[in-house]
Amino acid sequence: MVQKSKNILLVSGSGQNVGKTSLIRRIIAQNAGQKIAAIKITPHFHEPTGGLVPIAITDNYRIFQETDPNFGKDSSLFLQSGAEKVFYVQTTDDHLEEAFGIVTGHISPEQPIVIESAALRKFIVPELYLFIQKEYEDIKPAALKMQELADIVVFSDSGQFSVDPASFTFDQAWKTKQDDNA
């Protein structure tokens, strides 16, 4: 069994435009004093934009560190929200573990990490795994399998979430305010 990573909060969703980036930005802003590292992982390969500094480039993955909080892409928005470090990873699923290992080598082992990735849950067990979907949305069977692995399912509707992003905090491990009341 893979050991649970207490410093990782993983976010995925039922598809595009369901609110993953908005939720992550709010979680980062709520925990800005914690020196959060954020990682955006995608299986789509695009030409890099300004602000992305290459760390590792192969035929199977591209790893960048984001340096520009004003560019408007997801990784820039994570910096803008208060993340100390942000990484943008383009990778095939076959090389996801390898690429993730390279990225985590650039992050302190105790540092809190927020990751946006659907496929990464197949390889790691985060302290918290959030799955986001639009309220009243039917989801594809592949996304349903990921939803079943989630610790918390968050429903989104026009920028509002069924779980308050401020309820996710980091204190040596990711937890929710419900955990404090348990």
Q: Band the pLDDT of 3: cuts 50, 70, 90.
A: low
Tell if the pTM clears 0.85, that is, is over it: yes
pLDDT computed for residue 177 by the predictor: 80
Query: In which domain, by residue range, is 11 found?
Result: 4-181
- Split into its structural domains, the chain has a count of 1
The CATH number given to whatever domain includes residue 75 is 3.40.50
Structure confidence by residue, pLDDT tens digits, 110-136: 899 999 998 999 889 999 999 999 887
- In this prediction, residue 182 carries a pLDDT of 46
The token pair at 69 is: 């909080």
